[in-house]
Amino acid sequence: MPPLSWLTWLSAVLPVVVLLVLMVRFRWSGGKAGAVAWFVALLVARFLYGMDWPFAALASLKGLWSTVFVLYIIWGAMAMYYLVHLTGATEMMTATFSRLTAGNRLLQLLVLGWVFSSFIQGVLGFGMPVAIVGPLLMNLGFPAPLAVATVLIGHSWAVTFGSLGASFSMLQRLSGLPTAQLGFYAGIFIGLCAYLVGFSICHLYGGWKGVREGLGAVLVIATSLALVANVMANTVPQVGSFVAGLVTLGLLGVLLTRTTWQKRTAAPTSVVAAEGASAPVGGGRRMGFHLAFAPYYALIAVVLGVYLTPLKDLLGSYTVGIPFPRAATAFGAVSEATAAYAPIKVLTAPGTMIFVSVLLGYLIYSLAGVWRRGAGRALAAGVVAHAVPATVTLLTMSMMAAVMTDSGMLRLLATGLARVTGRAYALVAPLVGVLGAFMTGSNTNSNLLFTGFQVEIARLLGLSTVIVCAMQTAGGTIGTMLCPMNVALGTSTCGIIGQEGRIIRRTLVYGVVQALTIGLVGYALIALAG
């Protein structure tokens, strides 16, 4: 890295500022803004960070390769969306969810956008909640921007202990800290995030009036999620979000079907027909809720069947990754040689699970006679039309992030932050996690980038390494609601491509409030720990 100075620090932040200004202020699409930001990052890296052109090419290729995994999910999720949409199953689901929640719109947002998306995050992650639940909410009649923002916020708390613990495992492995201690503090921060997420969704839906209306529901749901996640964080952190989501869904199932709780939590404001246990579908046949939901049942079955059984290890041995040579900048920022960069476990990748579920869903719909002849062409056309803009967005943004990471810009940004704040660093430690997730689109990658750095800084400043690392992953989890890659995933699957800036404007406030709250609580815990 070049020496830390105002010039180098401000130049490191420039690509991010350009990206945000173009998307938020000028309402450019993610692809267009990402393209310009990549050029800016390239020039800064070349002329101020000593990155030669071959290294810049290598970094950009690494960025491109890392999108393959996410694009696989996007194309699959879009196929799932069109499969369900074209049979008319969405109308059926809309009617059922509407009836179950007595038409209470806020409760629908909380149950689907928060609890259901947390459950999906628990087993799959990697943007799946956004890709699956966003369109589902939209089909329930919610405006697409609200649907996307809700799921982005709703699933975020579950990221650290989601994806079968990928982010937490990365944190633990790189910090070398005891799992029990790390799980304890991470559980506290993540539990706190669960409450904040619930209130954020209520506020997003109806301002402070929404918070008052949803208070009861949020307290019940968040307590269940946080409690179970904390118990699991101290025992089997890998399934923390999955078990928390499952238990809470079960609890809500009981509460919603056997009580009139939903009517008491808020005034019903139904805009969707609440009647009917069946609905007409494209093929002229009528289907029940379980048939309509079949592709999602298939997805849950496939995921559980693979991830929670020995099949995971058996199938997970087939990986595809590409080798990259070593490269270094003139200032010594090194990208080590790797035999298989960002390997993809082809048979257990979330994209594969979705495509298998789409196939199973298609077979079930066909056997039940609800799949129209010729609908396959409409499905393919819809998928291509929506996947291309999302693809170019991801390509440009991940190239920019990779150039920033490999040139040392990201590390210099964090170092500058630590230098300025001193012992008050604890207050901003989560922001480093947020930054990592914002740039890379993943809590796991944020932990990969910054865990070592956080440990280093904590030791240097005499702070608790365990608490600082727990704040790192909490920041990373919050950052997933803001990162352009997830936002682009949401806008593409909900058909509002080009509105990424609008979505980020909505989630940014809640993300910052959550990060600052975690910072304050962490600062207090460090002070108490002495």
Partner 1 sequence: MAESPLTGARENLKERLSAPVLTWVSFLFVVAFSVTYVGLARRGSFLTELGLGFIALLTALIAYFG
CB of residue 189 vs partner 1: minimum separation in angstroms?
Answer: 37
CB of residue 498 vs partner 1: minimum separation in angstroms?
Answer: 9
With H, G, I as helix, E, B as strand and everything else as coil, classify residue 277: coil
The answer to whether residues 175 and 182 touch, using CB atoms and an 8 Å cutoff, is yes
Q: Which is nearer to partner 1, 207 or 325 (CB)?
A: 325
Per CB under 8 A, 31 contacts partner 1: yes
Look up residue 156 and give its two tokens: 């975020």
Q: What are phi and psi of 308, to 5 degrees?
A: -105, 15
First to last CA, the chain: 34
Q: Which is nearer to partner 1, 324 or 362 (CB)?
A: 324
Distance from C-alpha of 327 to C-alpha of 341, rounded to nearest angstrom: 14
The answer to whether residues 152 and 481 touch, using CB atoms and an 8 Å cutoff, is yes
Distance from C-alpha of 496 to C-alpha of 488, rounded to nearest angstrom: 9
The answer to whether residues 288 and 278 touch, using CB atoms and an 8 Å cutoff, is yes
Percentage helix, strand, coil for the chain under 3-state DSSP, each rounded to 5: 75, 5, 20
Contact map string, positions 62 to 81, toward partner 1, x by CB under 8 A:
--xx----------------
CB of residue 324 vs partner 1: minimum separation in angstroms?
Answer: 7
Q: Which is nearer to partner 1, 32 or 155 (CB)?
A: 32
Look up residue 64 and give its two tokens: 């491109």
Q: Which is nearer to partner 1, 156 or 391 (CB)?
A: 391
Contact map string, positions 283 to 322, toward partner 1, x by CB under 8 A:
---------------------------------------x
Per CB under 8 A, 253 contacts partner 1: no
Distance from C-alpha of 411 to C-alpha of 449, rounded to nearest angstrom: 8
Closest by alpha carbon to 74, among 522, 494, 365?
494
- The distance of Cα 49 from the centroid of its chain, to the nearest Å, equals 31
Per CB under 8 A, 324 contacts partner 1: yes
Q: Which is nearer to partner 1, 91 or 500 (CB)?
A: 500
Q: Which is nearer to partner 1, 28 or 97 (CB)?
A: 28
Per CB under 8 A, 466 contacts partner 1: no
State the Cα angle at 143 between 204 and 212, rounded to 5°: 30
Residues 6+ away with beta carbon under 8 Å from 527:
none
- The distance of Cα 382 from the centroid of its chain, to the nearest Å, equals 24
Stretch that binds partner 1, among 35-43, 97-105, 265-273, 441-449 (CB under 8 A): 35-43
Q: Which is nearer to partner 1, 39 or 184 (CB)?
A: 39
Q: Which is nearer to partner 1, 57 or 527 (CB)?
A: 57
Strand partners, 320: 344
Q: Which is nearer to partner 1, 393 or 464 (CB)?
A: 393
Q: Which is nearer to partner 1, 48 or 61 (CB)?
A: 61
Closest by alpha carbon to 396, among 17, 63, 53?
63
Q: How far is CA 88 from CA 34, 97, 187, 277, in A?
A: 36, 15, 41, 14
**Of the candidate residues 32, 155, 203, 411, the single one contacting partner 1 (CB under 8 A):** 32
Distance from C-alpha of 34 to C-alpha of 21, rounded to nearest angstrom: 11
**Of the candidate residues 216, 325, 332, 369, the single one contacting partner 1 (CB under 8 A):** 325
Look up residue 232 and give its two tokens: 């699991």
Report how many residues bind partner 1 under the rule CB under 8 A: 32
Look up residue 458 and give its two tokens: 């904590």
Closest by alpha carbon to 447, among 55, 48, 76, 174?
174
CB of residue 293 vs partner 1: minimum separation in angstroms?
Answer: 32
With H, G, I as helix, E, B as strand and everything else as coil, classify residue 343: strand
Amino acid at 488: A
Stretch that binds partner 1, among 24-32, 165-173, 346-354, 362-370 (CB under 8 A): 24-32
Closest by alpha carbon to 443, among 479, 404, 470?
479
Contact map string, positions 43 to 62, toward partner 1, x by CB under 8 A:
----------xx-xxx-xx-
Name residues contacting partner 1, limited to 367-396 (CB under 8 A).
384-385, 388-389, 391-393, 395-396
Look up residue 427 and give its two tokens: 């207050």
CB of residue 386 vs partner 1: minimum separation in angstroms?
Answer: 11
Per CB under 8 A, 145 contacts partner 1: no
| Residues at the contact surface with partner 1, assessed by CB under 8 A | 28-29, 31-32, 34-36, 38-39, 42, 53-54, 56-58, 60-61, 64-65, 322, 324-325, 384-385, 388-389, 391-393, 395-396, 399
